[in-house]
Structure 1
Amino acid sequence: MTATVFPSVPTTPSAPREYRLLIDGRWVEGSSGVLERSSPAHGVVVSRYSTAGSVDVRAAVAAARRAFDHGPWPRLTGGERARLLAAVADRIEARADELAYVETLESGKPIAQARAEMGWAADLWRYASALARTLHGDSYNTIGEAVLGVVVREPVGVVSIITPWNFPFLIVGQKLPFALAAGCTAVVKPSEMTSGTTLILGEILMDAGLPPGVVNIVVGRGPEVGAPMVSDPEVDMLSFTGSTRVGQAAMAAAAATMKKVSFELGGKNPQLVFADADLDAAADAVVFGMQFNAGECCNSGSRLLVHRAIADDFVAEVVARSQRVPMGDPLDPTTKIGAIITPEHLGRIEGYVAGALQGGADVRLGGGRVANTPGLFMEPTVLTGVQPGMAVAREEIFGPVLSVLTFDDADAAIRLANDTPFGLSAAVWSRDIDTCLAAGQRLRAGTVWFNTFMDGCPELPFGGVKQSGLGRELGRAAVEEFTETKTLHMRRGPRTAWWADRRAV
């Protein structure tokens, strides 16, 4: 059984949009030629990026270094930085339709979803604006009559920010405004597959009055552009979102210069559905968790752990609802499931499904790519008979594939949930708050939702444990992530010499 593919909406651009690099406040041509990006939903070239090489990365880092060491940005008041960040939020909202259109073309995600993401991103910039005014240290006047201790937070310095292709504008919004609020400067590398909206953000930043060199944007592949951004000794911190495999390599490279690091990596996120849950709400959340962004989401609810007593009926309801979710041209505002990012990634998803079938799993829905379309579409897929040791139960698939496992009691559910290398998020569905709280305390995940899934807001921290990452984004501590603490230890009056007994003088 497959979901319906809606007819194409003929609103692709007549020619690809051209982009250049932003270095030291100027738009410049890169030294490594041009990359073309084709729309995964339409099969036509929609963007052409001038591409950076190592010399361009070096220039971008040098510009960020000068802007931090000698420029005005780190020395502005929190209020001054806050006003500029708020102005960026206003400009994001003013260009939201344009940004959503570009992101939809490049990523294949539904345009209605992309428009919502632009609103979320603007909210992140406004929240960072508020935090710019409230960043503070601490003081201690209880450590001696003549002693005062002051702890201050200073910007860490130059930050390399590397973002993925699945939420290019939203994820740069989880990093860059908070780095700027702290007073840092930055070099940003978006994915070479979805760089357009980040480059438009560069236009917005310049229009808002950001000083030259404070934010530099370079485009290219990881080995040529990302690697030197990680290894450059003039970079003080790395903030990276992407796969665990690439994160591990980046962490090893950053260790050579002892950079501060913050990583948001992969996830294999379970939804635990107990027999007493609101099954209507839970079924809706399971379908959403599997199909949102075509499953190309670190928070994707790719594992359903359901109590054996209700498993058959609950899975049948999930399958029935999944068949009604509209898939098709992402430029159609009614579409909820768009295209897969590349042919290679679509093949990888299919490989996981094939491996599960060889291991004895059953396909209850979907199972393969959608045929007879110009784009790259994967059928929403539900697999039953999945065993805990299978790759589909343990590894991140990054596609619309749901692995169903059953449990008999809470202890078994927790063991299954924790039995992966990841620990990004989880959800617990039960009308009994004791069940929810007990599970929440035992689940090894950075976020645990009770009777909801994939909710979020700027005020709540986000990040993972185990191989899902290091550090936290969002929340009050988001700006602090981009700072170093410094102790100022003050003493008044004479200091006693340690080498002499002053009483004998």
Structure 2
Amino acid sequence: MTVMVQPKALTNYKVRDFRMLIDGAWVETDGGKTLERVAPGHGVVVSRYQAGTRRDAERAIAAARRAFDDGHWPRMTGAERSNILLKAADLIAARAEELAHLDAVEAGKPISQVRGEIAGSVDIWRYAAALARDLHGESYNTLGEGTLGVVLREAIGVVSIITPWNFPFLIVGQKLPFALAAGCTTVVKPSELTSGSTLVLGEILTEAGVPAGVANIVTGTGPEVGAPLTTHPDVDMVSFTGSTGVGRLTMANAAQTLKKVSLELGGKNPQIVFPDANLDEFIDAAVFGGYFNAGECCNAGSRLILHRDVAEEATARIAELSKLVKVGDPLDPSTQVGAIITPQHLQKIAGYVLGAASGGARLAYGGDTVDFGLGQYMAPTILSQVTPEMAVAREEVFGPVLSVLTFETTEEAIQIANSIDYGLSAGVWSRDFDTCLTVGRRMRAGTVWMNTFMDGSPELPFGGYKQSGLGRELGRHAVEDYTETKTLNMHIGARTNWWMPR
């Protein structure tokens, strides 16, 4: 039986009204409309955003263009930009509880989890600040006595940053500080479901000293605001995190003007478990990897590929541990699985579970929606006897649902893991590190964890193979993604004439 934490009603909750940040000013949309956010965990309106229009997006792009072409930000020293980013990190830390509360009520995320995300974001901002001082080009003095080559790294220009609802503050932190560190100017479009913490970030950046027009924030829907951010000729690069379907559309839109594109998209991430694995540690990692953020996570370890010798035991133990996972009120510090983002998404998750059960999978645990009388919730769920061709084994469910598949040989495990369209991350469990390295090197995934799952740090690049995206975030090269290279080929001394008089 799932442990349930009854949500407390948000009585007398003061709805927070937000405006947009364009060219250093907090403005209302020229369309005159607003969007209301109903808290998925409590069923009441908690935030009200401006319903931005195409015209608002164009105003923000124009501001960013002016700030880049004529402003001081791209021409600052790396140290100057670094100091401002460090101040922003300190201000984020000072407002951490406010930010965590916003993400908890708007996204239905457990408050304890979001506090960790905000702390991790502070670390990322500080790391990006360090890279602002370390960005450099190359020089070549080996081209002969008459030639010196210098390769510069220059900010790419205006960057559109489009972020999703599942990690509202953390994901903007994986993009924006690196773009700013490089000297770019930006227009940020957060999800229309979870814009609050990003708008607070706008207040923080202004206080930290980011000049007007450098970091603009426009709220609204994809068709109204997102589309012009991907097509406008004054945008030089698009950095997008979201579904693979919208990622394809973003790439097609950007192709009209040949913009640079960075895409962090979906995942259907496998964990391969060999008979000699430490099952105690794997069981905990399986539950964490499947239910963290209610499974609404591109990195979720939702495919458990278990050797037949341990499959039955591991599945039973995962089911037993799942019974202890606390589901419910996002604002209760003991909650581990919060609310599902929208009623429609809850129906989609439940549909995957029903479809798998109808197709021959066995419900080893859970499978039910949880009715607290307010908000929408899903119990942790495990499906066993799943086969590789089932939709639940191939498509991104984006909910707290684990699918158990089995294998006999290493080749079979690798084939199952690599057989789908995604390649974001993966896990390998074995006490034999030769096995871990052999399998890890053959996995078509951007990150492979060995005897752990969903660990990370700002120093390590993150991104996917195949339809999980293009490019990488984080890591010391993240800031370079927001630059162009320019070659300066300098001739020294007299030049040999092509036309030699006779």
- TM-score past 0.5 threshold: yes
Aligned counterpart, 2:60: 60
SS class of match (1:327): strand
Which letter does structure 1 place at the counterpart of 2:211? Answer: P
Corresponding residue of 2:257: 257
Residue 438 of structure 1 aligns with which residue? 438
CA contact (8 A) 2:8 2:42 kept: no
User: For 1:482 and 1:312, how far apart are their aligned partners in 2?
Assistant: 48
> Which residue of 2 is the match for residue 8 of structure 1?
7
What do the CA deviations read for 1:449-497 (whole angstroms, capped 9, x no partner)? 0001000000000000100000000001000000000000000122222
Give the whole-Å Cα distance in 2 for the aligned partners of 1:200 and 1:37: 16
Q: Following TM superposition, by how much is the alpha carbon of 1:501 offset from its aligned partner in structure 2, in angstroms?
A: 3.2
Q: How far has the Cα of 1:379 moved from its partner? A: 1.0
Residues 36 and 45 in structure 1, CA contact (< 8 A), matched pair in contact too: yes
Please give the secondary structure, in 1, of the residue aligned with 2:369: coil
- Asked if the contact 1:31/1:51 (under 8 Å) is kept, the reply is no
Q: Does 1:17 align with 2:7?
A: no
Aligned position for 1:90: 90
Q: Work out whether 1:468 is the aligned partner of 2:472.
A: no
Aligned to 1:161: 161
Q: How many residues end up aligned between the 2 structures?
A: 501
Q: Deviations over 1:345-382 (max 9, x none)?
A: 11111111111112111101111211343111011110
- Displacement of 1:414 in angstroms is 0.4
SS in 1 for 2:225: helix
Instruction: Give, in whole Å, the separation in 1 of the partners of 2:13 and 2:163.
Output: 28
Question: In structure 2, what is the equivalent of residue 122 of structure 1?
Answer: 122
Q: Secondary structure at the match of 2:37?
A: strand
Superposed, 1:110-149 pairs within 5 Å as 110-149=110-149
TM-superposed deviation, 1:7: 2.2
Q: Counterparts of 1:54 and 1:198 in 2: how far apart (Å)? A: 20
Q: Deviations over 1:194-230 (max 9, x none)?
A: 0000000000001111100000000001001000110
In structure 1, the residue matched to 2:326 is 326
Letter in 2 for 1:259: K
Post-superposition offset of 1:243: 0.2
| Cα distance in 2 between the residues matched to 1:99 and 1:452 | 29
- Is the CA contact (8 Å cut-off) linking 1:20 and 1:29 kept in structure 2? yes
1:8 partner amino acid: P
**Does residue 1:191 correspond to 2:176, yes or no?**
no
Q: Distance in 1 between matches of 2:487 and 2:363?
A: 60
1:175 alignment partner in structure 2 = 175
**Counterpart amino acid of residue 256 in structure 1:** Q
Aligned residue identity for 1:104: A
1:284 maps to which residue?
284
Code of the residue aligned with 1:196 in structure 2: it is G
Distance 1:263 1:97 in 2: 30
- Corresponding residue for residue 355 of structure 1: 355
Matched position secondary structure for 1:404: strand
CA RMSD of aligned residues (A): 0.9
Contact 1:414/1:442 (8 A) holds in 2: yes
Q: How does 1:195-234 map to 2 (within 5 A)?
A: 195-234=195-234
What does residue 105 of structure 1 align with? Answer: 105
Aligned to 1:412: 412
**TM-aligned CA deviation for residue 13 of structure 1:** 5.8
| 1:12 CA drift (Å) | 6.0
Identity %: 63
Q: TM-score, normalised by structure 1?
A: 0.98
Aligned to 1:235: 235
**What residue identity is the alignment partner of 2:323?**
Q
Quote the residue 1:392 is aligned against.
Answer: 392
- SS of equivalent residue, structure 1 residue 14: coil
Partners of 1:12 and 1:288 lie apart in 2 by 32
How many angstroms apart in 2 are the aligned matches of 1:43 and 1:337? 17
With structure 2 as the length reference, what TM-score do the two structures score? 0.99
Would you say 1:30 and 2:16 are equivalent positions?
A: no
Secondary structure, aligned partner of 2:477: coil
| Alpha-carbon distance in structure 1 between the residues aligned to 2:9 and 2:388 | 44
User: Contact conserved, 2:16 with 2:46, CA < 8 A, in 1?
Assistant: yes
- Give the aligned partner of residue 426 of structure 1: 426
Asked whether the 8 Å contact 2:161–2:176 carries over to 1, the reply is yes
Superposed CA offset, 1:126-166 (max 9, x none)? 00000000000001011111100000100000000000000
8 Å contact from structure 2 (residues 6, 372) kept in 1: no
Contiguous gaps of at least 5 residues in structure 2: none
Write the letter of the residue equivalent to 2:134: T
- Contact map agreement 1:11 1:331 (CA 8 A) in 2: no
Superposed displacement of residue 11, structure 1: 5.2
Q: How does 1:30-49 map to 2 (within 5 A)?
A: 30-32=29-31, 33-49=33-49
Give SS of 2:346's match.
Answer: helix
Query: Counterparts of 1:371 and 1:119 in 2: how far apart (Å)?
Result: 32
Does the residue aligned with 1:49 lie in a helix, a strand or coil? strand
Letter in 2 for 1:41: G
* Contact 1:30–1:51 (CA under 8 A) maintained in structure 2: yes
Report the residue type matching 1:45 in the other structure: V
SS of the counterpart of 1:65? helix
| 8 A contact 2:287–2:321 mirrored in 1 | yes
- C-alpha separation in 2, matches of 1:421 and 1:48: 37
Shift in Å, 1:385: 1.1
Gaps (5+ residues) in structure 1?
A: none
